[in-house]
A and B are shown apart, each in its own frame.
Chain A
Amino acid sequence: EVQLVESGGGLVQPGGSLRLSCAASGFTFSSHWMNWVRQAPGKGLEWVANIKTDGSQTYSVDSVKGRFTISRDNAKNSLYLQMNSLRAEDTAVYYCARGGRYCSGDTCRLYFDYWGQGTLVTVSS
């Protein structure tokens, strides 16, 4: 059974830092792109960042570039999100999501086929 368990959320002051972790089990972690998706209270879903299977490529939304860093440790089946210079607008539930692949011809793209339960990050003074 695929399981994704996030941890590391909490209350932090503006300008502070947090490191989120996602422990994966039940599948070959090193074979999947992994993602962070967030949802502000009462709002919609926002993709934050993703990372290739071997960690060699990462992508992120502009609003977190230079502040958030996604990484992974395939030996530990773990995904991370280092969040620095946190702002009030970063307040959200952060989900870890596995990337499934859909291929059309030679081109493949992702979908989010398994999600963790999420961890709440609150940025407030």
Chain B
Amino acid sequence: DIQMTQSPSSLSASVGDTVTITCRASQSISSYLNWYQQKPGKVPNLLIYGASNLQSGVPSRFSGSESGTDFTLTISSLQPEDFATYYCQQSYSAPLTFGGGTKVEIK
């Protein structure tokens, strides 16, 4: 199985900050990496697919990049509605696996 290691597991940031979340795959997954946002008590929401493709309707302050087996989600100019938990997920091979999540909290 492909393991997805997310870091950090949590972070504190202020409105307006730039936040970076990293996800490392245990083996090559090409660009088959997706990012989701989940707010407390809510359903997960797709942000980025294929490592860097912004899902329709998602604000452009969210971006994704890759370098080998390392993937990054960047949130530029953090907004109050961005405080949530973020998950990466690989779709290269079954079983499809998620990272452990990164909780973004208000500083």
Contacts and interface: CB of A to CB of B under 8 A. Distances in A.
B96 to A, nearest CB: 4
Nearest to A59: B94
Contact of B46 (A50, A60, A113, A117): A113
Interface stretch (A19-27, A76-84, A104-112): A104-112
B43 A109 contact: no
A106 to B, nearest CB: 12
Contacts of B3: none
| Interface of B, helix, strand, loop or mixed by DSSP | loop
Interface stretch (A8-16, A40-48, A66-74): A40-48
Interface stretch (B10-18, B19-27, B48-56, B67-75): B48-56
Interface of B: 1, 30-32, 34, 36, 38, 43-46, 49-50, 53, 55, 87, 89, 91-92, 94-101
Nearest to B50: A102
A104 B50 CA distance: 9
- Band of interface residues on A: 20 to 34
B95 A47 contact: yes
Contacts of B43: 95, 115-118
B32 A109 contact: yes
A1 interface: no
24 contacts: A35-B96, A44-B98, A44-B99, A44-B101, A45-B38, A45-B44, A45-B98, A47-B89, A47-B96, A47-B98, A61-B95, A95-B43, A102-B50, A102-B53, A107-B30, A109-B92, A111-B34, A111-B49, A112-B34, A112-B44, A112-B46, A115-B43, A115-B45, A118-B43
A55 interface: no
Given A102-B49, A102-B50, A109-B91, A115 B96 contact: no
B94 A111 contact: no
Contact of B87 (A44, A60, A100, A118): A44
Contacts of B94: 50, 59-60
